[in-house]
Amino acid sequence: MSAAAEAEHAYGPRVRILSNPFLATALARLSSTNTAQLELLGLVRTVYTGLLIAALEREFPCVQAEIETRMAPVHGAAGVWRGEALDPAVGVVVCDVVRAGIVPAQVCFELLLQVLPSAQVRLDHVNVARRAGLDGRVEGAELLGSKIGGSAAGKLLILPDPMGATGATTQRVLDHYMEFHGRPAAILALPMIATPEYLRAVLAHDPALRVVAARLDRGLSPPAVLRALPGVRWDEERGLDETGYIVPGAGGLGEVLNNAWC
């Protein structure tokens, strides 16, 4: 996936919105009411595979590497591959935000294990729930429990929470890491869908945080705002309804992914 495949916007250099027809189509199918459960899970895995690869392209430190191929015993130095590769010395923590983030976090964890030393990659788990007022509006997020394997200090913290809605969950997770597990060297939030409200909240919360999203949703913005470049009229953009759900969005993805109504 090319780094050039990104949507133009005015949210600043810490935000990347991918512009990829394959991922856009997968997200559209994922959001449809006609998509069956098994297909939905496959689509989430597909989107996060593309999203993580695109994110690492510019957000992960690289080194010049030399790897002996199977042709090296026959051709010597000519059989050695030389080129740019992900830095194997970088420690990575993937945070599973239960419950919508379970599948995305597992996908990212397994992909990273394919290219980095296993001793450098860890999967943490946090249980965070939205906190809503009597009127149904989201007022914040409550951390109900966590399983965190150790320090995150100096590491890259990846948050593959799929719905970047209010930003309250991301803020609460970051506060927990900072208070109890050390400051990461970098923070990479990977929502499938992000709203303008989410971007404003999380970017202001921590200067080390960067966002790479597969789609921007601001469907409740006035028509004139929608005609403008995203971010130019940021104060007037709106992607959340009165109860904090994304429009057009994917409709309560945590419940859908877990078949919560059975």
Beta bridge partners, 15, equal 211
Phi and psi torsions of 10, nearest 5°: -120, 30
| Helix (H) or strand (E) segment spanning residue 107 | helix 102-115
Average pLDDT, the chain: 94
The partner residues of 94 in beta bridges, in order of sequence, read: 123, 158
Of 45, 80, 51, nearest in space to 66 by CA: 80
Residue of 226, 227, 159, 145 whose CA lies nearest to 188: 159
pLDDT of 1 over the 70 cut: no
CA dist 167 → 5, 29, 51, 105, 240 (Å): 25, 24, 19, 18, 11
Structural domains of the chain sorted by starting position, each given as residue range(s) with its CATH number in brackets? 15-257 (3.40.50.2020)
Does the structure show a pLDDT above 70 at 9?
yes
pLDDT at 3 over 60: no
Give per-residue pLDDT as tens, 62-94.
Answer: 999 999 999 999 999 999 999 999 999 999 999
pLDDT at 136: 62
> What are residue 147's DSSP bridge partners?
125
Q: For the segment 186-235, what is each residue's pLDDT rounded down to a tens digit? A: 999 999 999 999 999 999 999 999 999 999 999 999 999 999 999 999 99
The per-residue pLDDT for range 20-53, each reduced to its tens digit, is 999 999 999 999 988 888 899 999 999 999 999 9
